[in-house]
Amino acid sequence: MPRPMDLQSSPAQKTSASLREIRRLCVYCGSSGAVDRRYREAAGELGTRLAAAGIGLVYGGGRVGLMGLLADAVLAAGGEVTGIIPARLRDAELAHPGATELLVVESMHDRKRLMAEKADAFAILPGGVGTLDETFEILSWKQLGLHDKLILLVDIGGYWAPLRALLDHIVESGFARPETRGLLRVVPSVAAVIATLSAEPGPSRQVDPGLL
Ligand code: AMP
């Protein structure tokens, strides 16, 4: 099993790799807005800061919940939003009407594949089972060596403490190697997301759609 890219890079690799930039961030987050104010504020703050940093947003294309707040904030600050949504959800009028680009796909699987291809890195804000599904898929693809893109778990107010504990439990029980923890980087705030994206090189290779 390949080791995480974060642990593999030598200083020399880092220097040449830093010429690659993270230009588009895929954000997974809740479609519910009936949540703690801190989570709602984090979604808005991330959108504003992404636009200011010139980093485009790739996301599920919805107009509801944290997803909607995030996309609204990017657009209000003059940034670019690429929404990727299955036809069924668009037809249920859940698509964001203002997205710079709205890509309509057949299935949830197509959506997740395209989101992974289009982005240079991933960030996970608080969310529910849909967010967890996306998180574990992108994490397992990284564990299999199908991509080497940065994955940031944004632990606003400690929301993800149970998920972190579950990952520790999985490693301690022998179902994953200790290196698995390093496949996902925990950051405490939106400011730390932007600082990390600015400091990190982009991925060294694209997701190979043929392998997904
Ligand atoms: P959840 O965490 O269960 O609210 O699901 C949110 C995640 O699933 C998002 O990151 C989206 O990619 C996807 N998703 C769920 N509901 C929608 C929706 N109405 N429109 C677009 N994407 C959605």
Cα–Cα dist 210/74, whole Å: 32
Cα–Cα dist 212/207, whole Å: 8
- pLDDT < 70: residue spans in the chain: 1-19, 208-212
Cα–Cα dist 201/212, whole Å: 24
What's the 177 CA to ligand 1 centre distance in angstroms? Answer: 30
pLDDT in the model for residue 204: 81
Residue 202: which of 51, 11, 13, 3 has the closest Cα?
A: 13
pLDDT in the model for residue 120: 96
Nearest residue by C-alpha to atom 20 in ligand 1: 62
Residue 14: which of 22, 5, 23 has the closest Cα?
A: 5
> Do residues 69 and 168 lie in contact, with contact meaning Cβ atoms separated by under 8 Å?
no
pLDDT in the model for residue 18: 43
User: What distance lies between CA 121 and its chain's CA centroid?
Assistant: 6
DSSP secondary structure letter of residue 62 = B
- The maximal CA–CA distance of the chain, rounded, in angstroms, is 50
Which atom number of ligand 1 is nearest to the Cα of residue 32?
A: 4
- Residues with CB under 6 Å of ligand 1 are 28-32, 60-62, 64, 67, 85, 89, 94, 127-131, 134
What's the 31 CA to ligand 1 centre distance in angstroms? Answer: 5
pLDDT in the model for residue 206: 72
Probe residue for ligand 1, chosen from 82, 131, 137 as the CB with the greatest number of ligand atoms within 8 Å: 131
What's the 28 CA to ligand 1 centre distance in angstroms? Answer: 8
pLDDT in the model for residue 209: 63
The model's pTM: 0.89
What's the 154 CA to ligand 1 centre distance in angstroms? Answer: 17
Cα–Cα dist 76/58, whole Å: 16
Burial of 120 (0-12, 13-18, 19+ CB in 10 A): buried
Residue 151: which of 74, 212, 207 has the closest Cα?
A: 207
Joined tokens for residue 130: 């849909």
pLDDT in the model for residue 2: 39
Probe residue for ligand 1, chosen from 25, 31, 63, 84 as the CB with the greatest number of ligand atoms within 8 Å: 31
Domains of the chain in sequence order: 22-196 (3.40.50.450)
Joined tokens for residue 42: 């984090």
